Structure 1
Amino acid sequence: MCLMKIKKMKRQCCLAIPIFLFYLMLAAKDAHSQSNVRPKSVISGLVIDETLKPVPGTVISLLNHADSVLVKAAITDSLGKYLFEDIAFGNYIISSKMMGYSTMFSKSFQLTESRSQIAVEQFQLKMDSRSLKEISIVGQKNLIERKIDRLVMNVESSVLAEGNTVLELLEKAPSVSVDRDGNISMRGKPNVLIMLDGKATNVSSADVANILRNMQSNQVESIELITNPSARYDAAGTAGIINIKRKKNKAEGWNGVVQAGAGYGETSKYNGGTSLNYRNNRINFFGNYDYVNNGSKGTLDLNRIVNFMDTITRFNQSGGLDQRKKDNLYRVGLDYFVNKNHTIGVLMTGYSNRETITSKTNTLRENNFDQREDMNFLGNNKEKSWNTSFNLNYKGILDKKGKELSADVDYSHYYHNHDEIIDSKYTRINLLPRAPSSVMNFATSKIDVRSFKLDYSQPINKSSKLEAGLKSSFVSSDNNLLLARLQQSVWVPDVDYTNLFLYDENINAAYVNVNKAFKKTEIQVGLRGEQTVSKGNSVTNNQVVKRNYFDLFPSLAIAQSLGENHRLGFTYSRRIDRPNYGSLNPFLNFVDEYTFNKGNPYLKPQYSSSFELSDTYKGKITGAIYFLRTRDIMALVTEQDDATQKTVAIQRNIDSHQMVGMSLFIPFQLTKWWSMQNNIQAGYVMIKSELNGGHLNNTQKVASYFMNSSFIIDKSLQAESSLQYNTPAAFGIFKMRSQTVFNVGMKKTFNEKLQLSVNVNDVFNSRRDRVSTTYQNMNINFTQKSESQIARLTLTYRWGKSTVPESRQRSTGITEESNRLKN
């Protein structure tokens, strides 16, 4: 069997690798045949003050001459110089903005093929004599920016971004929420596809959270929230895509960043990291390493009622955990520029995590016959995981008309080990005595992902563009669970809780996407097809589940300008979420003798259709209405056996989940030194299903409000605050209560290289998850509180040249698979 698998994989690899090499040969041939490629356009200049000294940190804006629309922005380096490259031909003007100086504009100039390199007349800035209250805030993007198909959170310009982790940044993003375990949802829906620079992280959903906890905010430029992605993206992610774009480097030579930080809430937290970049006209070498040592505490209070015949039993559980995580995250890569149009690159990313968790739980079980049992559980858990991913990438411009081809070959190996011992002690009243017990949980997961991807784009004419691509991915998963009980000082395996589960999956996809621009209208239409072939084998239970299905995923986006003030947008997409690999494993995972987790081998994928209509007023205020319908939604439910009083948490398919809502984004300039962004979401959630022999009807009005305020105190000191409020919500059989979080931060810039920031997250320590359900025989209420009130101090030092040409932001072939590697 294994030999047949290997032979099959070899045949698939043998087909994919020659195709990849064939395109490389074509690209190399084109590289030598292109002698009439459009010359590289360059716009450069210098900014000085009244004493003729250079002015670093000045914001330079390249504007269209006709309508003054921003084309690109840059910041002057330590010598007062700036540079724009690869700008389309046309008529432009340049403006300079610097706090304390008057805004200046250049004369208009024309960039043409014969005049492709332009040195703009130098700006000599003059001091602005107005007081601070009269100084305009310039040179800084709004934290939240609305675009036609996405919402962009400009982290680079945010004070709150300093000293935080990327996961904490997501907590501050509009319409995004992160629970205690690091699970991310958008507009109240889970199953969000998380991407870094257009690619996934090739790890489990739990380890995606680990990576985002380890990644520091000074590495991030922006966070894109995409609710209706185009056909170019994998169809996974019914809630949409969150793309985290890292900062790019901007001129030849060496540069780097060193950062160290410390924080404290209920436990200590330390982090440090460094990044390095070198570039010349032939190669770009880059790498970064981050280390995080974080402690965290949390509490859980749970109440459960079981009715069986004439007995009413109550479970009152309270507990806490104390955990310490030591994480290492690295990324290293090399790009080789064959010439200005063709690049070959290699990339290796990885991480290793070690975690220790001590948990103490007290459960009081009592009934209406005065029978009581006081149970104390002490858990000692050690976890370690590591992941290594490799990417080989080619990207090329094939002719002067703009034909582009990119190819990726990816391999990722993931390993996770879970080792836990639970000691139990019992005190009983009106019940027979019970001896202490010990249980050991031991689980390992090994997952390999291979992917081959080709993307091609071609301008049809000046206003139209065609995109097409192919992708194949192969996943092999090996999961082993062992539970043993201590009997007379010997660990004896319990066959009821021991299982071996193997899972193999192949997804083949193809897409086509067409973009057409008219005078006031832009249309993008796409279609993606995906075939899924999978086999889940529970070796212990001798249970095999096979699947083979094909789906089409259309997408549509339309933008229409109505006069000067209004720009309408309409987007539609159909998407899919396949089950996480761990959710298919039918083993029983022991939590305590009355609580278990279980996988569902018959869990089906869920499908969603999403519509959104938006209007942007004067490029600032944006309103939208949307409708989202999901079929066979995968939801975690609890199922209770009244006779044994045991509860099992398992994922089931729920027939229908619908949400209709509206969003409103409103920026305010309250004073010259105080700006504010506001995002409001409101809607109605309808969940209906025939589930476990009952009729589920869980409906809820939902709303959220996000506010961010930025304050310019002086040229080197900025402050920021944010407020996020979520009303009660519903998902599956559960209802969640409201939540409010308030954060503050301050940043001091000493020069262009040294920066100090102070942040306090969840100032009022109000963040907690309060959840309940009363479906069928279930009556559960619980509250989880994680350590969220944390103060941090971060020092950042940048060295080397401040303008190194940007390194490539490429996407790899492993996207959906990464977010499905659930433990």
Structure 2
Amino acid sequence: MKTYILEGLKLSTGILLPYILLIILTSAQLDGYAQTSGNISGKVVDNEGASIEYASVALLYEDGKMIKGALSDSTGKFLFTAIPDGKYLVKISGISYHSLTTEIFVISVENRKLDLGLLKLKEDSKLLNAVVISAQKKLIEQTIDKTVINVENSIVSEGNTALELLARAPGVKVDDEGQISLKGRSGVLVMINGKSTYLSPKELSTLLKGTNSSSISKIEIMSNPSAKYDAAGNGGIINIQMKKNMKTGLNGSISLNGGASRNARYGSATILNYRNEKLNVYGSYDYGYRGETEYLDFVRRFYDNGNIGSTPTRTSYQDTETDEPLHTNNFRLGLDYELDSSNTLGFLINGNVGKYTHDSKTGNRLISGDGSIINQMATTNYDQQNWKNLTYNVNYLHKFNKEGRTFSADADFASNSFTSKLNLKTTMLQSTDGQTGAITSRRGYVPAITDVYLAKVDYTDPLNKTIKLESGLKSSFIQSDNNLRYDILNNGNWEYDTNGSNHFKYKEQIHAGYLNFNQEFKGFSVQAGLRGEYTRTEGHQITTDSLLTRSYFQLFPSVFVSKPLGSNHLIQAAYSRRIERPDYGDLNPFRMFRDPLLFYQGNPFLKPELINTFQLSHSFKGKYTTALNYNRTTDVITWLSGQIDSLNATFESPQNLSKLINYGVSFTASTTFFDWWNGTHFANIFRNEYKGNVQNSTFNNNTTSFSFNSQNSFKAGKGYTLELSGFYYSGSVYGISEYKGSYAISTGAQKAVLKDKGTIKLMINDIFQSDRYREQTKYQNIDMYTNKRPDSRRVMLSFSYRFGNQNISKKDRKTGSEDIQNRVKGGG
């Protein structure tokens, strides 16, 4: 083990051990005191005793005023904690079921823990006599702190990749390079099963393209996380939850899908689970092949006098056709063992192995101002990328005698390797009589290795009937090694390119601790938290023997206030401070060539960006939510274009702009226009204002943007369900560039077969092939336009089948590590 890691682990142990001992000693003492908080639990079932998941459960005062709401979990269970003494009742409702209201019950000193038992909902006979024959989980659900997209219940999600699903999520936008933004804010932290993927944006984009929807259960979107979560992720957090079966016995599912866009797509997935009273063993594997052809038009205009408004001296017309076949293998193997009723130990391995090929053919014509051809080039770019990501986790959960008090510990090791083998060949074509062609060739080998070591502990304790404490510590150690080598073909011999090659190593350690207090007052509740993070980074440019180190400590407060106004209205206010650190690929100053006239280059002097975010929201009947947002980001990291006029070349590099102001209003509505038509709709109006200094010139780029997303489900009887979804994004700005609007409409149908254990789905994505990326930049001497047409229209057919015990469920338990998140980037 390298000295750096050994020192880090020693420091981590020194930090965590006293904290663990303090928790154990304190908890042992507190367990002796009488419990003072009231808890209300129960389980929602149908007439046959089967669990009803995601039923709406409202806790009411005896006069009918709402206190708080919740959703039943995958086993039908719900729990309300820290309830003051008093008289209450519970109201439960679910799609295609009659609502149920309990009798008034009492929480008092003599009755602190109340179990309401099995609460049966009766099916709606009117609904059964109509065309609808079964209940269905909503496609999109809006909870207090997040938006949940139930992917496994969506028809048009079938055959899509995780990245394509995110592109259709409410408030989420994915650009042509796979960068993800939320409500106009970039810097979104993406997790899988509550854990960071430990990848750079480019590698993350490749991973999400290779993750098939058949293995995804749901997507959770949190625009304003609390201090309990890592401060990374200025744009918020998106958590992709993979499928995991919680039923007893041996059970599982298989699925197959196939179809075509411009090329073929197909895949398969298998999920197995065995559970008894003590042991749960689960695993999954899916394979996916995605063929894709993409078209790109790129126009650049050059002005010798520097005046963009005049006639261009030269114009470059570039067109590219790219084939991008991708093979991916995802697997997961886990084991949870209940040592006794209070202690659980778990082990988990996640893996992703894949291959991606970028095979493009580019034509480039450089035209003079009078229309004559200056030169023509033909370029082939063949880039074969391979990656292997393995994450190992050990987790422990202890439940104390006091209801709600828990202690959890996690240790993670992630090994990530990524390689790129690039061959770039350019031929100068004959433009005039007597002109001879020239050929230039470049090859590159880009290995990137990133190792992550992580340890964390969390402690939760309801101190009394109205106050709950959450606290924790976390340490992470990361090292990345990227050794880029370029060779140039010279007279038939490959020669080492000293100017283009580069070796870069990066080390980072982050130590964090947080305290979170939840208190319920009469008529409203408050959550206040404070997180502190110490960061130390070291970037070693081995090629030039330069070393850049940084260390800093930051505090990240957060405050959330919630107040019910009667039984129908809920007002919430939130504030948080967050950080977005530059990833390793952004810091690495090497050049990555797309063609001889376009390259990307990192910036080792990037500073982290900081954001202060505010939100005020109002919810009506839990169905309609309006939210006002204001966000101010300083040192905002933005990829900017540059131009070398003498070479007719363009490059992109990340820079720190002074600030980004983002504010807007969003509206979410859950509708039931008819018994057979359910929908969720999201609209967002926001304004982005970029301000900064680029090439010694101050600029202010701003615009007001609009987005709309609608998901609709129709029940047609006899086991048929139809779905129609669509989105629209108006124009927006990013740095010195602006993006044009786009839209897409998708549809699908599904049929339950084999006694409802099987499902057949047919979907058509982006019917009008209107989802494209159009970007325009006009700044100083830069005048360029990009039009990218991805392979978005496709038809997919799928079949899935569930087998084994599907009826008896056991209590749902989380491993205690589902909130692990970390800004860990690779060197892609």
Q: TM (normalized to structure 1)?
A: 0.90
Q: Give 2:400's aligned amino acid.
A: L
**Which moved further from structure 2: 688-697 or 150-159?**
150-159
Q: How does 1:198-277 map to 2 (within 5 A)?
A: 198-277=194-273
Could you tell me how far apart the structure 2 residues matched to 1:129 and 1:313 are?
68
Q: Give 1:265's aligned amino acid.
A: S
- In the alignment, does 2:180 pair up with 1:175? no
1:419 Cα shift?
A: 0.4
The residue that corresponds to 2:14 in the other structure is 15
- In the alignment, does 2:186 pair up with 1:184? no
- In the alignment, does 2:1 pair up with 1:5? no
- In the alignment, does 2:149 pair up with 1:164? no
Answer yes or no: is the 8 Å Cα contact 1:31–1:339 preserved in 2.
Answer: no
Could you tell me how far apart the structure 2 residues matched to 1:605 and 1:23 are?
34
Q: How does 1:380-419 map to 2 (within 5 A)?
A: 380-419=382-421
1:26 Cα shift?
A: 7.3
Could you tell me how far apart the structure 2 residues matched to 1:808 and 1:177 are?
30
Answer yes or no: is the 8 Å Cα contact 2:44–2:72 preserved in 1.
Answer: no
**Which moved further from structure 2: 799-808 or 279-288?**
799-808
1:398 Cα shift?
A: 2.7
Answer yes or no: is the 8 Å Cα contact 1:197–1:245 preserved in 2.
Answer: yes
1:453 Cα shift?
A: 1.0
Q: Give 1:144's aligned amino acid.
A: I
The residue that corresponds to 1:51 in the other structure is none
Answer yes or no: is the 8 Å Cα contact 2:423–2:444 preserved in 1.
Answer: yes
Could you tell me how far apart the structure 2 residues matched to 1:340 and 1:40 are?
20
1:773 Cα shift?
A: 0.5
Could you tell me how far apart the structure 1 residues matched to 2:417 and 2:400 are?
40
**Which moved further from structure 2: 670-679 or 376-385?**
670-679
Answer yes or no: is the 8 Å Cα contact 1:537–1:545 preserved in 2.
Answer: yes
1:344 Cα shift?
A: 1.4
**Which moved further from structure 2: 750-759 or 267-276?**
750-759
1:434 Cα shift?
A: 4.0
The residue that corresponds to 2:826 in the other structure is 821
Unaligned runs of 5+ in 2: 307-311
Answer yes or no: is the 8 Å Cα contact 1:197–1:809 preserved in 2.
Answer: no
Alpha carbons of structure 1 residues 30 and 211: separation in structure 2 relative to 1, 3 Å? farther
- Cα distance per residue 1:643-701 (max 9 Å; x no partner): 23222210011111112211112333222222332211112221111211112111111
Answer yes or no: is the 8 Å Cα contact 2:35–2:464 preserved in 1.
Answer: no
Could you tell me how far apart the structure 2 residues matched to 1:331 and 1:247 are?
10
Answer yes or no: is the 8 Å Cα contact 1:334–1:346 preserved in 2.
Answer: yes
Could you tell me how far apart the structure 2 residues matched to 1:429 and 1:220 are?
53
1:783 pairs, out of 774, 783, 787, with: 787
Q: How does 1:327-476 map to 2 (within 5 A)?
A: 327-368=328-369, 370=372, 372-429=374-431, 433-476=436-479
Root-mean-square deviation (CA, aligned residues, Å) is 3.4
Could you tell me how far apart the structure 2 residues matched to 1:653 and 1:257 are?
48
1:761 Cα shift?
A: 0.9
Could you tell me how far apart the structure 2 residues matched to 1:809 and 1:426 are?
60
Could you tell me how far apart the structure 1 residues matched to 2:778 and 2:436 are?
33
The residue that corresponds to 1:570 in the other structure is 573
SS at match of 2:571: strand
Answer yes or no: is the 8 Å Cα contact 1:199–1:810 preserved in 2.
Answer: no
SS at match of 1:513: strand
Answer yes or no: is the 8 Å Cα contact 1:198–1:810 preserved in 2.
Answer: no
Alpha carbons of structure 1 residues 3 and 288: separation in structure 2 relative to 1, 3 Å? closer
SS at match of 1:308: coil
Q: How does 1:585-624 map to 2 (within 5 A)?
A: 585-624=588-627
SS at match of 1:148: coil
The residue that corresponds to 1:286 in the other structure is 282
- Cα distance per residue 1:629-654 (max 9 Å; x no partner): 11111111111122232222100111
- Cα distance per residue 1:31-88 (max 9 Å; x no partner): 999999999977586735xxxxx9898997766585598655478xxxxxx8648777
1:492 Cα shift?
A: 0.8
Could you tell me how far apart the structure 2 residues matched to 1:639 and 1:44 are?
60
Answer yes or no: is the 8 Å Cα contact 2:449–2:826 preserved in 1.
Answer: no
1:752 Cα shift?
A: 3.2
Could you tell me how far apart the structure 2 residues matched to 1:264 and 1:597 are?
32
SS at match of 1:765: coil
Answer yes or no: is the 8 Å Cα contact 2:31–2:401 preserved in 1.
Answer: no
Could you tell me how far apart the structure 2 residues matched to 1:118 and 1:630 are?
48
The residue that corresponds to 1:47 in the other structure is 47
- In the alignment, does 2:802 pair up with 1:798? yes
Answer yes or no: is the 8 Å Cα contact 2:386–2:418 preserved in 1.
Answer: yes
SS at match of 2:476: strand
- In the alignment, does 2:193 pair up with 1:197? yes
Alignment coverage as a number of residue pairs: 806
Answer yes or no: is the 8 Å Cα contact 1:450–1:474 preserved in 2.
Answer: yes
- Cα distance per residue 1:512-560 (max 9 Å; x no partner): 1111112221111111111111111111122221111111111111111
The residue that corresponds to 2:690 in the other structure is 687
Answer yes or no: is the 8 Å Cα contact 2:450–2:827 preserved in 1.
Answer: no
1:297 pairs, out of 293, 296, 302, with: 293
- Cα distance per residue 1:120-147 (max 9 Å; x no partner): 59888795598526x6x98444433333
The residue that corresponds to 2:502 in the other structure is 499
Alpha carbons of structure 1 residues 217 and 434: separation in structure 2 relative to 1, 3 Å? closer
- Cα distance per residue 1:764-795 (max 9 Å; x no partner): 10011000101111011011111000111111
Alpha carbons of structure 1 residues 570 and 55: separation in structure 2 relative to 1, 3 Å? closer
1:760 Cα shift?
A: 1.1
The residue that corresponds to 1:742 in the other structure is 745
Q: How does 1:521-536 map to 2 (within 5 A)?
A: 521-536=524-539
1:458 Cα shift?
A: 1.4
Could you tell me how far apart the structure 2 residues matched to 1:719 and 1:525 are?
44
Answer yes or no: is the 8 Å Cα contact 2:334–2:347 preserved in 1.
Answer: yes
Alpha carbons of structure 1 residues 796 and 6: separation in structure 2 relative to 1, 3 Å? closer
1:436 Cα shift?
A: 1.4
Alpha carbons of structure 1 residues 634 and 245: separation in structure 2 relative to 1, 3 Å? same
SS at match of 1:461: coil
Could you tell me how far apart the structure 2 residues matched to 1:169 and 1:599 are?
29
The residue that corresponds to 2:633 in the other structure is 630
Identity of aligned residues (%): 30
**Which moved further from structure 2: 662-671 or 741-750?**
662-671
1:810 Cα shift?
A: 4.0
Alpha carbons of structure 1 residues 116 and 657: separation in structure 2 relative to 1, 3 Å? closer
Could you tell me how far apart the structure 2 residues matched to 1:756 and 1:593 are?
48
SS at match of 1:495: coil
Alpha carbons of structure 1 residues 174 and 192: separation in structure 2 relative to 1, 3 Å? same
SS at match of 2:463: strand
Answer yes or no: is the 8 Å Cα contact 2:194–2:239 preserved in 1.
Answer: yes
Could you tell me how far apart the structure 2 residues matched to 1:604 and 1:151 are?
31
The residue that corresponds to 1:79 in the other structure is none
SS at match of 2:194: coil
SS at match of 2:196: coil
The residue that corresponds to 1:513 in the other structure is 516
